[in-house]
Amino acid sequence: MKNLNWKTLSQKYLLQDRWIKVRADVCQMPNGQIIEPYYTLEYPNWANVTAITSEREIVLIRQYRHAYGEAILELPGGAVDPGEPEMEAVQRELLEETGYIGENWEEIARVSPNPANHNNLSISFLCLNARKTAEQKLDTGEEIEVILMPLEGVKQLLYENKLVQSMQVASLFYAFRRLEQLSTL
């Protein structure tokens, strides 16, 4: 196979914040061409969960997303803190955002939100027998509505293109695939 990897000659941070770092790289392609600047957005890894209750309902959240300009349906999830295991991060987020816990946790996918200019991964989990055990413990600036929806209803939203968060759309497709595998065991 042909070598298509670039060599990074230098990096300069233009912005460093809690949630994002913006980096300008000077890169060299295998043919010697220099690309300058090449912007990379550094984000923490993200973890989300398709949590399913014993009644075969998916625990969804609805919250306002400013860049999109609307409140949208999503899976519970959030940023993985530095040094935090991804499974612990997603279990924490599920409890904080919804008050739910669950059993039978399984990692089902790792995808890149945008490998062209993002350096992070989105890690998807499946959780069975989710049940409410607490009230929400939301961060300042969060307002989240918890919605339980039957599996078939969520599938219909996917097929009608009514879920817009691409990392979570991928997560749901992986979750439904895994559920099909589990039902044939």
**Residues 118-139 pLDDT 10s:** 999 999 999 999 999 999 999 8
Q: Please classify residue 1 by burial: count the beta carbons closer than 10 Å to its beta carbon, then call 0-12 exposed, 13-18 middle and 19+ buried.
A: exposed
Cα separation of 173 and 133, whole Å? 27
In this predicted structure, the answer to whether residue 58 has a pLDDT above a threshold of 80 is yes
Q: What integer pLDDT is reported at residue 18 of this predicted model?
A: 87
Residues 53 and 86 in one domain: yes
Q: What integer pLDDT is reported at residue 19 of this predicted model?
A: 86
Cα separation of 76 and 82, whole Å? 19
In a domain, 61, yes or no: yes
Residues 79 and 18 in one domain: no
22 with 43: CB under 8 angstroms?
no
Residues 103 and 141 in one domain: yes
Residues 37 and 112 in one domain: no
Residues 35 and 67 in one domain: no
Q: In whole angstroms, how far apart are CA 126 and each of 15, 108, 155, 163, 172?
A: 35, 7, 15, 18, 9
Residues 21 and 58 in one domain: no
The model's pLDDT over 62-115, given as tens digits with 9 standing for 90+, comes to 999 999 999 999 999 999 999 999 999 999 999 999 999 999 999 999 999 999
Cα distance between the two ends of the chain: 39
In a domain, 2, yes or no: no
Residues 60 and 136 in one domain: yes
In a domain, 1, yes or no: no
Residues 56 and 68 in one domain: yes
138 beta partners: none
Cα separation of 134 and 3, whole Å? 52
Print the domain residue range for 30. 7-42
Cα separation of 163 and 63, whole Å? 13
